[in-house]
Amino acid sequence: MSDSPETLILNVDEAADGVRIDKFLSDTLTEYSRSFIQKIIKDELVLANDKHVKSNYKVAAGDVLNITVPECKTPEIEPENIPLDIIYEDDDIIVVNKPKGMVVHPAAGHYSGTLVNALMYHCKDNLSGINGVSRPGIVHRIDMNTTGVLVTCKNDFAHSRIAAQLAVHDITRKYNAIVWNPFSVESGTVDAPLARSRKDRKKVAIDQSGRRAVTHYRVLKNFKQFAHVECQLETGRTHQIRVHMSSIGHPLLGDDVYGSGKSPYNITGQALHARVLGFVHPRTGKYMEFEAPLPDYFQKILNDLESNGR
């Protein structure tokens, strides 16, 4: 991205006729992410034949697209001496157990206190740069109020190889969750595509035009009002477990976005923990698997459910 606004002119040829404009621009302007492309469309910085269009506009052969790329305004991200719960570390990767309430990388409203700030202090300049200056080392993420195991990369070599495993769903990711309502089955699979909600852009929704999303679940223990489940991701879409569990009538305890948010327990956000992460080490080629123990708040809820039979 340039340091000042830039205007681009693109002509649509016959090969792209009928393609959604956000896909066309993502495929053409490969230096920008799809989310960035969608943002500039939403901000009315993309014109098709001198008219503002939406992301679902389908380009036609002969269309002239006028794109204004805004000035890059990158906040200064500072290292911060924040304690890290390190599960494993070597010259290529660092595996951490992220606490509840910590944002993974800086974003609007969260430019300090993030995992990236802590990693920058701990690793100095030894973090991958593939995801840009605001996300050094970050190859995947979990939500602010989700706890658990996360791998970050110290160099681009490691980053590209971990990212490649993520792209083809070769990474083992198992989560523990406490959800509302007991199950009548021992296990199951939710195979439902996800996309940004058309009603609320801050939410994710099941949408047949979205990207394929698959969650396998296994009931660990049923209670009267709740259930303790293990969810294994086949894909890793934003809010995937939260949306999928809610869609089958089992919203996560404490989830105020995809559930009611009500809870008999004093917790912040959803009861979701990334417990197991497994992948092939980028340099040695050996499969490694890491586990983060259930956080105290999660275990206390399970103990109460066992004792009081909620």
Helix (H, G, I), strand (E, B) or coil at 159: helix
Strand partners, 20: 58
| CA pair distance 22, 35, nearest whole angstrom | 9
What positions carry a catalytic annotation? 143
Torsion sign across C-alpha atoms 167, 40, 202, 137: positive
46 phi/psi in degrees, rounded to 5: -120, 125
Tens digit of each residue's pLDDT (9 = 90 or more) over 286-308: 999 999 999 999 999 999 999 98
| CA pair distance 120, 95, nearest whole angstrom | 14
Tens digit of each residue's pLDDT (9 = 90 or more) over 80-125: 999 999 999 999 999 999 999 999 988 766 778 999 999 999 998 8
| CA pair distance 174, 194, nearest whole angstrom | 19
| CA pair distance 276, 286, nearest whole angstrom | 17
pLDDT confidence of residue 109: 65
Tens digit of each residue's pLDDT (9 = 90 or more) over 148-203: 999 999 999 999 999 999 989 999 999 999 999 999 999 999 999 999 888 876 78
Please report, for the chain, how many H helices and E strands are present, in that order.
Answer: 6, 15
pLDDT confidence of residue 3: 43
Angle CA 75–80–81, to nearest 5: 175
Q: What is the mean pLDDT of the chain?
A: 91
- Residue 28's H or E segment, with its range, is helix 21-28
| CA pair distance 244, 239, nearest whole angstrom | 8
| CA pair distance 13, 8, nearest whole angstrom | 16
pLDDT confidence of residue 155: 94
Locate tokens 């979205």: which residue?
A: 210
Tens digit of each residue's pLDDT (9 = 90 or more) over 220-274: 999 999 999 999 999 999 999 999 999 999 999 999 999 987 889 999 999 999 9
Top pLDDT among 38 and 4 is at 38
Mention every residue, 6+ apart, whose C-beta is less than 8 A from residue 100: 145, 146, 147, 268, 269, 295, 297
Half-sphere exposure of 148 (CA within 13 A, CB side): 24
pLDDT confidence of residue 277: 98
pLDDT confidence of residue 111: 77
User: pLDDT grade, residue 31 (50/70/90)?
Assistant: low
pTM of the model: 0.76
Mention every residue, 6+ apart, whose C-beta is less than 8 A from residue 139: 128, 130, 131, 151, 152, 153, 159, 162, 163, 166
pLDDT average, residue stretch 199-210: 86
The tokens for 70 are: 């805004």
Q: How many of the other CB atoms lie within 10 Å of CB of 287?
A: 11
pLDDT confidence of residue 225: 95
pLDDT confidence of residue 108: 61
pLDDT confidence of residue 71: 65
Helix (H, G, I), strand (E, B) or coil at 162: helix
User: pLDDT grade, residue 5 (50/70/90)?
Assistant: low
